[in-house]
Amino acid sequence: MDVRYALYDNTRFPEHLPYARCGHLFTVPGDFPEGIPPYAHVTSQEMAVYRVNGDWEVRDVNGERRVWGTGRRRKDAVNAAFAVIARERRIRAARITDRRVQVLGLEAACPYQVEITGSITLICTPTAIAVLDRTETSGDGPARHHVHDVNGGDPYVIRADDSVTERTTTAGVLHNRCGCAPENAARFESETQALVYARHALTVCHPCPKTPAATEPAPAAGERPDGTPGENAGPCAQCGCLLIWDRTGRRVNDEFGEYICTRRSAGTKSNIHLLAVPEPAEQH
């Protein structure tokens, strides 16, 4: 593991604490070691490594201030500390997983995760729509929005006034037992909780392409052919809302651009919008 050190001097720690007057600081990430499930990650630990009695010693700074490793060389002490931390964190993760399954009756990992993948703020005026880069405020005049055109081009400035509005769009992905483990995702035990969070926290939410339900063939039911992008595709078989063919012409979303079916009833098959099977023609 690549360890980055920062020097510290005799002003870093009070004299009564068990650290040498000078040494080095480094950080153990909260997601160390690899393979620890996200729900078992911890806060990153700041560590100090310093010489004492001719050897090197590693002690944590923010927690118990315990010694995690020693060695003749700094590298040996740090490696020993990482080995102990890795072992203890793996044991802790295994206990958390066992408690989830054996005591709480949950799945080993949180099945639903909502990941924010990006956001963009638009500055809208009666004559233009631009992408916000930064806003510069002034005590003696209106704020200045530094923007660039949605299709590229040189940056320019829009002065804030009553005709100027801001709109932030946040996009994200719903993971449903897909094997992904995004680091900063919100995690939920039930689909209802995940969908409520996605509707309130995101402007647009797409199902992860690795989600089993999302990889099923057809958004079109039965033998219905693919459609023309932007055209009406009919009602959702699960929630009844009007659907539109997306830009690929192979999938459908609602009028807000969402693929997730948030208003479906309990017991329905998929968490994405599905087209209703066309009514068969009457035989005369």
Residue 171: CB atoms within 10 A of its CB come to 16
Q: Is 116 left (phi over 0), alpha (psi -120 to 50) or beta?
A: beta
Core vs surface per residue 102-112: b (16+ CB within 10 A) or e: eeeeeeebbbb
Q: Where are the domains of the chain?
A: 6-103, 114-208, 216-284
Looking up tokens 């920062």 gives 6
Among 107-111, 168-172, 263-267, which is the least confidently predicted range?
263-267
pLDDT of 225:
52
| CA separation, residue 204 to residues 102, 252, 257, 272 (Å) | 36, 14, 7, 13
CA-CA distance, 91 to 30, in Å (whole number)?
A: 15
pLDDT of 282:
55
Both tokens of residue 148? 């660039």
Among 149-153, 181-185, 206-210, 253-257, which is the least confidently predicted range?
253-257
Q: Tell me the per-residue pLDDT of 110-119, one tens digit each, with 9 for 90 and over.
A: 899 999 999 9
CA-CA distance, 270 to 8, in Å (whole number)?
A: 56
Nearest to 260 by CA among 171, 188, 167, 168: 171
pLDDT of 220:
44
The DSSP bridge partners found for residue 170 are 119
DSSP string, the chain: -----EEE-TTSS-TTSSS-SSEEEEEE-TTPSTT--GGG----EEEEEEEETTEEEEEESSSS--EEEEESSHHHHHHHHHHHHHHHHHHHHHHHHHIIIIIS---SS-SEEEEEEEEEEEEE-SS-EEEEEEEE--TTS--EEEEEETT----EEEE--TT-EEEEEEEEEEEESSS---TT-EEESSHHHHHHHHHHH-SEEEE-TTSGGGGSS-SS-TTPPP--TTSEEEEBTTT--EEEE-TTSSSEEETTS--B-TTPPTT-S-SB--BPPPPPPPP-
Core vs surface per residue 209-233: b (16+ CB within 10 A) or e: eebebbeeeebbeeeeeebeeeeeb
Please state the rounded mean pLDDT for residues 176-191.
Answer: 87
**What radius of gyration do the chain's Cα atoms show?**
27
CA-CA distance, 207 to 131, in Å (whole number)?
A: 26
- Does residue 280 carry a pLDDT above 60? no
pLDDT of 213:
54
Predicted TM-score of the model (pTM): 0.57
Nearest to 113 by CA among 170, 205, 177: 177
pLDDT of 192:
84
